[in-house]
């Protein structure tokens, strides 16, 4: 589209969102993808400064790569003001609110998104996440189950379901969920399958998955955040911290979930974790 019309702002938004999502879903290196996303979003804004979609795209860069919370929130809110019917802006903004621990606000924002797009399986699924991050796993599972009643093959719902099942100690069920989505969410599903094996007492299986991901990292991007989760599952906390330090140095985009991620709860009393939160930019 951009080749056909380089002055079409919407085409630049599409490029920005594609680059950002490739990094957010861990398919590509964020250090490569987010600068491209930023450039594309800024080009779209040069062409149309009041384009809501472009402001939302720029907000994603501020959030996931720059860890600039104030700039991200400003751009999300501007996108919503410019186009109150753009459901993705509400959806994206809800993820920002998750990272800040503002769960009541995130539920309100997601409900507004659902009123705009009531048939969205993604929104129906994501409605469970404010509960998940508050450790209300049964309530989260209710939302994921509702999405799966609509489409039993919806990968995102199986993935989040697996997360909550682990937290309930239902490790074998979690492994089944992650294996169903291994194609759609490869490294993150494998990492949490390894976590489940580790906590179920199957340490050899967990370490086998870990070795496979470490070998794969020689050929493609593997997030140190995923590796940190596996080490946390194995209670190799020194190695978990080493991977989180790598994640900080590489600006791994899932580092924004440090404050709320249940898989890292056993690291939270370590002063190094508090220091890392401060360095990423979280307060308190």
Q: Where are the domains of the chain?
A: 1-89, 203-284
Mean pLDDT of the chain: 97
Q: Please check the confidence at residue 2 and state whether its pLDDT lies above 80.
A: no
pLDDT score for 17:
98
pLDDT score for 284:
52
| pLDDT, average across residues 14-42 | 98
Q: Please check the confidence at residue 264 and state whether its pLDDT lies above 80.
A: yes
pLDDT score for 182:
95
Strand stretches in 114-228, DSSP E? none
pLDDT score for 262:
98
CB crowding 243-282: b at 16 or more within 10 Å, else e: bbeebbebbbbbbbbbbbbbbbeebeeeeebeebbeebeb
| pLDDT, average across residues 122-148 | 98
pLDDT score for 5:
79
Dist. CA 219–CA 170, nearest whole Å? 33
Other C-beta atoms within 10 Å of 17: how many?
Answer: 21
Could you please state the CATH topology (level 3) that the domain comprising 1-89 is classified under: 1.25.40
Q: Please check the confidence at residue 62 and state whether its pLDDT lies above 60.
A: yes
Q: Are 17 and 50 spatial neighbours (Cβ–Cβ below 8 Å)?
A: no
| pLDDT, average across residues 9-32 | 97
pLDDT tens column, 249-261:
999 999 999 999 9
What six digits make up the tokens of 51?
């384009």
Query: Helix, strand, or coil here: 117?
Result: coil
| pLDDT, average across residues 93-109 | 98
1 pLDDT band (50/70/90 cuts)?
low
Q: What is the pTM of this model?
A: 0.96
pLDDT tens column, 215-247:
999 999 999 999 999 999 999 999 999 999 999
């Amino acid at each position: 589209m951009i080749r056909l019309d380089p002055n079409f702002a919407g085409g630049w938004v599409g490029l920005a969102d594609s680059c950002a999502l490739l990094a957010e879903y861990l398919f590509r290196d964020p250090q490569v993808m987010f600068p491209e996303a930023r450039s594309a979003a800024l080009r779209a804004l040069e062409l149309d400064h009041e384009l809501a979609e472009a402001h939302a795209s720029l907000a994603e860069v501020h959030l996931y790569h720059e860890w600039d919370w104030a700039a991200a929130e400003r751009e999300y809110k501007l996108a919503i003001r410019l186009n109150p019917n753009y459901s993705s802006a509400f959806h994206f903004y809800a993820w920002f609110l998750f990272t800040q621990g503002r769960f009541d606000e995130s539920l309100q924002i997601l409900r507004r998104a659902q009123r705009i797009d009531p048939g969205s399986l993604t929104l129906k699924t994501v409605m469970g996440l404010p509960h998940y991050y508050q450790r209300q796993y049964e309530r989260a599972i209710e939302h994921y189950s509702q999405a799966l009643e609509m489409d039993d093959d919806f990968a995102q719902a199986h993935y989040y379901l697996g997360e909550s099942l682990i937290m309930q100690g239902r490790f074998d069920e979690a492994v089944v969920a992650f294996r169903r989505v291994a194609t759609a969410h490869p490294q993150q599903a494998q990492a949490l399958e390894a976590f489940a094996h580790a906590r179920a007492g199957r340490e050899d299986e967990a370490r086998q998955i870990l070795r496979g991901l470490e070998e794969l990292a020689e050929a493609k991007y593997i997030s140190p955040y995923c590796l940190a989760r596996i080490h946390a599952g194995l209670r190799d906390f020194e190695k978990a911290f080493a991977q989180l330090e790598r994640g900080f140095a590489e600006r791994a985009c899932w580092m924004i979930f440090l404050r709320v991620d249940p898989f890292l709860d056993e690291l939270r009393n370590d002063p190094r974790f508090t220091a890392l939160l401060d360095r990423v930019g979280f307060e308190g």
